[in-house]
Amino acid sequence: MTEVYRLAEPGDSAELLALILGAYQTIRDLNIAFTAAQADLDLVRSNIVNHSCYVLELDGEIAATISLKSLEEVTPHPFLYWFAVDPKHKGRGVGRRLLDHVEDTVVRQGLQASAVTLATSRKHPWLLPMYERRGYRPFYERDLGTDDKLVFMTKELPGKTEQADDEAAAALLQEGRTA
């Protein structure tokens, strides 16, 4: 099986939309107010063009995706969002491999950031514990809909500890897509 990690391109929009909507079915079932759960083709295309949207391809088919941007109003660290694994690949470590790649190769090595941030729903039954097992720690919460909280979590990355690195990473993210 051939694995390819790459930035998404606008031509991937339809395939990514189908993957995201399939992966976020549980989010919709739980009535969690995540933008990705209600995404349309224009929103997916805009995300690809304006941010760094990474994919993991297995034998030429997109199996997982995660996006990266700056979210300076919450954190100085790079922010991961729209993490989704095609349901037919669930439970096979595909999401773990993509997240490992982005944390290490893109954020730690490429952006030289000392930490990375993401957010999830407090009421989702398994996402918060899953991210905690991966080393993420909650640091901030804000309302998400009427009966939920968005929990922001950060993970320190080995090998980088200087604040200047995080400021440089934020500047790179503001400039546009990261390779």
Domain ranges of the chain: 3-175
**pTM of this structure:** 0.89
- What class has domain 3-175? alpha beta
What pLDDT is attached to residue 111? 95
What pLDDT is attached to residue 152? 98
Percentage of the chain with pLDDT > 70? Answer: 89
Q: Which residues have C-beta within 8 Å of that of residue 128, sequence separation ≥ 6?
A: 120, 121, 122, 138, 151, 153
- Residue 121 in tokens: 């729903």
Q: Where are the beta strands (DSSP E) in 79-148?
A: 79-85, 115-121, 137-143
Q: What's the rounded Cα separation, in Å, for the pair 94 and 35? A: 23
Confidence bin at 145 (pLDDT 50/70/90): confident
What pLDDT is attached to residue 1? 81
Q: What's the rounded Cα separation, in Å, for the pair 138 and 119? A: 9
pLDDT in tens, 25-84: 999 999 999 999 999 999 999 999 999 999 999 999 999 999 999 999 999 999 999 999
What pLDDT is attached to residue 55? 98
At 31, phi and psi to the nearest 5?
Answer: 60, 45
What pLDDT is attached to residue 54? 98
SS3 call for 106? helix
Please spell the DSSP secondary structure of 31-46, one letter per residue.
T---GGGG--HHHHHH
CB atoms within 10 A of CB 166: 21
pLDDT in tens, 82-141: 999 999 999 999 999 999 999 999 999 999 999 999 999 999 999 999 999 999 999 999
Distance, CA of 93 to chain centre: 16
Q: What's the rounded Cα separation, in Å, for the pair 128 and 126? A: 6
- Residue 125 in tokens: 């039954």
- Residue 175 in tokens: 């400039």
